[in-house]
Every structure is written in structure tokens, then in C-alpha cells.
Homo-oligomer: A and B are copies of this chain.
Amino acid sequence: MIQTEQLLHTLRKEFDNSAYGSNPDELYEPIRYIMSLNGKRFRPLLTLLGAGLYKDDLSRAVKPAMAVEIFHNFTLMHDDIMDNAPLRRGKPTVHEKWNANTAILSGDVMLIRAYDHLLDINPSQLRHVLARFNQTAAEVCEGQQLDMNFETRWDVTEGEYLEMIRLKTSVLLGFALELGAIIGEANPADAQLLYEAGESMGIGFQLKDDLLDVYGDPEKFGKQVGGDIISNKKTFLLIEALSKATGEIRTELNDWIARETFDKAEKVGAVRHIYDQLEIRRITEQKINDYFNQGFESLEKLNVAPERKEPLLQFVHQLVNREQ
């Protein structure tokens, strides 16, 4: 039986021992910095757990799994420049600690290093894995571009939003699991099911993020509750509210969005009250459950003995139930 904690330990050790390159130091130090910021490493873990469905020896899966995490952190480094974000996991972002040029160039090298880590793939599978990785990587960029486009639009539909988060965050979770399946030499149907499971769950996770920002327990939630409301971030909840609000409620919502000075707690309370009146919480929870159920259904259909599924199912249940 695969020990999830043991796999995480292996991954953490590998990341701690990675230098990513040596010279010039100005290029590689920011990479070591962002990779050390206590990421949960759950993407590479999904790859290992995916491979573990089919294989016991996961040694050949470790580097490719790391590729997914390095790619993910590359997108964070570049997205943080574009989003002008000061903090990442509570620490200064790379473009803040150094500068934007450093974050651009070190990010570029990270993307190259991600490809490097994929070279541990069995040569007979390499072309297929790279084609799938390239598609996923381009889709993540497309999602980021859509996200930026949405910033200046007030007519984003629920469908457009779901497609944006699918591209920006979910396809990589799908790929992480699919990559494990490919390395484990699963049949193509299982690889596809694992991709779909990751994709559905990923949308669910993002919607849950959106929900917790408004309704999360401040004791458990890592960030400031209501941050998205304060910044008018176009989350699933806001998009739903904008599509449903009419009359006075609509006027009130528009007014809060337009105000340039306000008491933060008052705005959070007021917008949350609007969401309550429109039953946004119920609608969002329903949507989250739909996506999670879809994901579990895909996992159920896998051609794998039930006991072999346990480590992955257990881990996914943990992710689904997290409150922060």
C-alpha cells in the first residue's frame, strides 16, 4: 500500500535538493526562493498517486511529477507580475523582492526546467506526454489571458467564468493525474478518466475558494475573509449575483461595486447580505458538489482494484473537505 506521507516526504526532499542551475546566481536564486515558499505540493502528489494506482515502483515518476510543480510555480511567478501581486504565500513575490525583469527571466528558465524534468519519461511515451503537456500549458496561459480580459468586462457569463477557471487551474490538475496514469502504463480510458476527474475536481476547488472567501470561517481560512468582495474580484459568486440581481438589490450591488471609499467590513457585510438574499451560497454549494461528484464518478469508473484506489481517494477527500 502506497504511503501518501512517504511520497510527500520524497517530493519535499527532492525539491529541497534541487538547485535548478548555478550560474548566474541572479537567475537561479529567485527560482529556489519561489520553490521554497511552502507549497503544498499537491499537484506532483496527484501524479505519484495516479501512477501508484498501476505501479508499485514510483521512482521513474518523481521527476515528471516535479515538472508539474515547477510549471505551476512558473505560472505563479509570471501571473504575480501581471496581477501586480505583492505577496505569495505570505512572502514578497519575486518581482517585489527583486524586480519584474528578474521574474520574467527566472520564470522562463523554470518553464525550460519543467520540460527538463519530463525527460525521465520512458522514451516510448515521451512524445505523447509532451503533446499533452504542451496542450495543457498553452491552455493555462489561455486561462490567464481570459482572466485578464474579464477584469474590464461586466458581462462575463457563468459559462465563460467556468471555462476560464477550467483552463487557468483545472486542466493542470487533470494533467497531473493523467501523467501519473501514463507513467503507470494505464489503459487510455483510465488515463482519460483520471484527466476528467482532475478537471472536474479542479473547477470544484476553485469554486470552493470563491465560496470560502465570503463564507469561510475566519479562524480556519488562511486569508482575510471578504478579500474578493473588497476588491470587486469577479468570482463565481459575484458573477451569479450580477446575473440574478434586479431592482433595488441590483442598484445596491452596483453601488457597492462603484464606491471608491468605504468601510471594508461594512462592504463585506452588505455584499454578503445581497448574496444571501439571492441564495448565492446555496447555488454555489450545489455547483461545487456537482463538480466534486462528477470527479468521484470518474474515479469510480477506473479499472483498478478498490483497495488500490484507497490512497488517492483518501487524499482527494482531504482536498475536498479542506476549509482553507
**What is A's interface to B at a CB cutoff of 8 Å?**
21, 23-24, 26-27, 78, 81-82, 100-101, 104-105, 107-109, 111-113, 115-116, 119, 123-124, 126-127, 130-131, 134, 137-138, 141-142, 144-146, 148-149
Contacts and interface: CB of A to CB of B under 8 A. Distances in A.
Nearest to A125: B123
A59 to B, nearest CB: 18
28 contacts: A23-B142, A24-B142, A24-B146, A24-B149, A26-B148, A27-B141, A27-B145, A78-B104, A78-B108, A81-B100, A82-B101, A101-B148, A105-B141, A105-B144, A105-B145, A108-B108, A108-B111, A109-B138, A109-B142, A111-B112, A112-B134, A113-B138, A115-B115, A116-B134, A119-B127, A119-B131, A119-B134, A123-B127
B82 A105 contact: yes
A108 B110 CA distance: 11
A107 B124 CA distance: 30
A56 B191 CA distance: 40
B111 A82 contact: no
Given A78-B105, A104-B78, A124-B123, A115 B130 contact: yes
A78 B146 CA distance: 21
Contacts of A115: 115, 130, 134
A82 B126 CA distance: 34
A314 B56 CA distance: 57
A191 B82 CA distance: 41
A59 B24 CA distance: 39
Given A21-B138, A81-B100, 15 more contacts: A23-B142, A27-B142, A27-B145, A78-B108, A81-B101, A81-B104, A82-B101, A100-B100, A101-B148, A108-B141, A109-B141, A112-B134, A112-B138, A115-B134, A119-B134
Contacts of A126: 123, 126-127, 130
A157 to B, nearest CB: 15
Contacts of A137: 112
Contacts of A144: 105
A227 to B, nearest CB: 22
Contacts of A119: 127, 130-131, 134
A276 to B, nearest CB: 34
A104 B94 CA distance: 15
A145 B26 contact: yes
A82 B82 CA distance: 14
A37 to B, nearest CB: 20
Contacts of A116: 131, 134
A156 to B, nearest CB: 13
A135 B82 CA distance: 27
Contacts of A78: 104-105, 108
